Structures are given as structure tokens and as C-alpha cells.
Structure 1
Amino acid sequence: MGKNINWSTFLAPYQQAVDELKVKLRGMRKQYEIEVKHSPIELVTGRVKPISSILDKANRKGIPISEIENMIQDIGGVRIVCQFVDDIYTIVELLRARHDFEIIEEKDYLKHKKSSGYRSYHVVVRYPVATIKGEKFVLIEIQIRTLAMNFWAINEHSLNYKYSGEIPVDIQKRLQRAAEAAFQLDEEMAKIKDEVQEAQWIFHQHKSNTHKKGGR
């Protein structure tokens, strides 16, 4: 499987889509900063799945090679990390309001967490990429989560890789407890959200004024 695909050609539009989305989303973050408002976007990262991971997923799910681009939604992925849980839903609304891609699916793993304890919000978009052969649409998965959720998910992903998806039961239980602790952290931080944002605004103003004085 995979021998009939020119992977460089196949993956190029996904990389282009990921790169463009990162620029656009970071631009949104910058707009909030310019207007001296709290930005719901803290960090934006992105990646294209390695070929081996694409083939492993296709084999695991019984997806024929001819259907990979239609049935695997996360070949290209963008991750938006934010400070507070409320920010996640703000970002979802911002994505829904855009006209440069089409949202085809949403998965709310905040209200319906996975059994592992995983929490996040996934938005799958159909993104147009301009190529030398014309416009091509690719599926890109946008994951939105808090810093605490992201910390947990990165570690859970590493353990899944180490144990080939068969994490020992005792470690699974610890992960579930850690997921609940991360959720409790998010809930506690939500209670002092206004205080945190005000403190960040004061710091931003101080840094901006210091920069202006230094530039004279």
C-alpha cells in the first residue's frame, strides 16, 4: 500500500493549506493584540501527518489507498491553543464566520469527552488550495484546546506511540486522573479569568509604553 502515490505531490497541497491557515489564524491573534483586547488565540501550530502514520491509519481503518484523501480527515492538522475554556467556543464562532473555507464537521470532546479523558474541540474544514493545475480542496482538521488540555494530550499521544495504542491499565487510570486534574485547573482558572485578563492588559500596556520610550 502506498506504492502508487507520489507522496511529494500528494502532500504538497496539505502543507500549503496548513501554512496558510497558520498565517491567517496568527493574523487574527495579532488583530486582537493591536486592538488591546484579550485574544482567544494563545498559540497556533500545524503539521502534516508523516506518510507512515497515514498508511498505519488507513490500514487500521480498512481505507483503500484511492480513498485516503476523502476518508482521512487529519492528514493536515492545525492546533489552536487558548487560555480558557470559553475561548474555545469563541474561536469556533470565529471559524464559522469565515468564508475562505467550508466547515464540514464539528466534534465537541469538551461536552462529550473520550473515555481516555481526552478533551478538545475538532473542526474539520474543506480548504481550497491554489495549485498549478487549478484549485484543489483538501480536508484539514483544526483542534482547539486549552493549555492544560494540550499538555495532557501531548503526553497521552507520546504514551500511545510508546505502547502502540495499548497503554497499560494502571497508566490509563493515571491518565484519566490527570485529565480530570487538568479539567479542574481549567475550571478554577475560569473563575479568575477577568482578573488574569486585566493583569495581562496592564502588562501589555507597560511593555508597549516601555518599547515606545526606548524607540525615541
Structure 2
Amino acid sequence: MSWNLDSSSGIATNLQHLQDNLLLLQKLVEPLDSTTAIKKKGSTLLSDEKETNEENEQIGQENNLLKPIKKEEETNDYNEEKMWNEEQEDYKQNFEKMVKLKRMEYLKNKKNLQQKRKLIEMKKQQVCGNIKQLWNIGQQYHEKLDNKIMKMNQWQQMINNEIVINTQKMDMLQQLLSKHYDLFSNSFHLCSQSTQNQSHFLELVDHCIQELQNNFVHDFKRTKTKSINFPKNQSEFGNE
């Protein structure tokens, strides 16, 4: 390759040649850069892989160390779950037994309560029947007592009427006796004065006595009322 330095056109040509050479050099350098990059990338990948392997190995060792602990934890979890299930099963069985016992006790108490209610109802009916019977007896006794009281009042009224009538009779008899006693006294006084005429005195006395008897009988018949047939004894009155 020749360089032309004589004119401006030669300089331009030279610049063109330089640009072409730079392009050629770039094309030649690019494969070298890519290879270097690949090598760097490969070495980076190798180092990353090594680190990864080391990390995996460390993780594996840690996992190996954690396996017994994890297994123990799993065993403990299993045992705890098993115990919890057993407790739940025992609780369920005990609860079912308790419910069964409570139901049996409830049915027993219900049956006893029904029997007690039946007995109470029977006693109630019996007591009501006795009360009704006693009430009927009391009513009958009350009616009999009312009848006896009514009869006693009637007898009392009749006795009172008889007492009034007898009192009136006694008053009339007393007046009549007083009247005839005065007459007899006057006659006796007159007769005693005329001692000579004794026969006349005796006739007069007989006449006065006869008149006194007649007047007494006449007044007694006039004031006499119908007599009352009283009961012979108290039992006869009570039986009525």
C-alpha cells in the first residue's frame, strides 16, 4: 500500500485507507474480544458452579444434621397428634356416656314424675270426692237444723200465745173472784146481822155460791181456746 502525500486528494485517499484499516483491525479484534469474554464468562460460570456445589454440599451436610432433629420433630408431632386424637376420642366417648346416662336419668325422673302426677291426681280426686260428700252431708244437716229451728220458733210462738191467753184468763178470773168475793162478803155481812133468819141466810149463801159457780163456768167457757198438744218428750221433737 502506497501513501500519496503530494496533493489534497492524496491526503483524502490516505485518510480513506486509514479508515479502511481501522475497520479491518476492528473486525480482527472483535473475535479476540469475544473469545476473551467467553473465557471470562466460562471462568465465572465455573467459579459460580463451584460455589453452588459448595453451597449444595454445605446444605446437604446441614440437612444430614437436621434429619434426626426433623425426624424427632415429626415423631413428636405425630405423637402429639395421636395423643390429641386419643384425648378427643376419650372425650367423645365420655361425653356420649354422660349424655346417655343423663338421658336415662331424665327418662327415669320423667317416669317418676308422671307416676307422682298420677298419684297426686288420684289423691286430688279422692279429696274432692270427700269434700263433696262432706259438703252434701253438711247441706243435709243444715237443712234439718233449719227445719228444727223453724219448728222451735213455731212452738215458741204457740207457747207465747198460750202464755198470753192464760195470762188473760188469770186476769179475768181474778176480776171475777174479786167481784163475787165482794158480793159474798156483803151477803155474809147482811146475813150475819140478821141472825134470826138463818135459813134465809143459808139460802142466800147457796144462791151466791151457785151464782158464783155459774158465772165462773160461763166466763171460763167464753175465754177458753183450743188447747195445744205439746210433744211428750224432747226426743219426739228432735225426730221431727
* TM band (smaller chain): under 0.3
Higher share of residues assigned strand:
1
TM-score by length of 1: 0.20
TM-score by length of 2: 0.18
Structure of greater relative contact order (alpha carbons < 8 Å, 6+ residues apart): 1
Higher share of residues assigned helix:
2
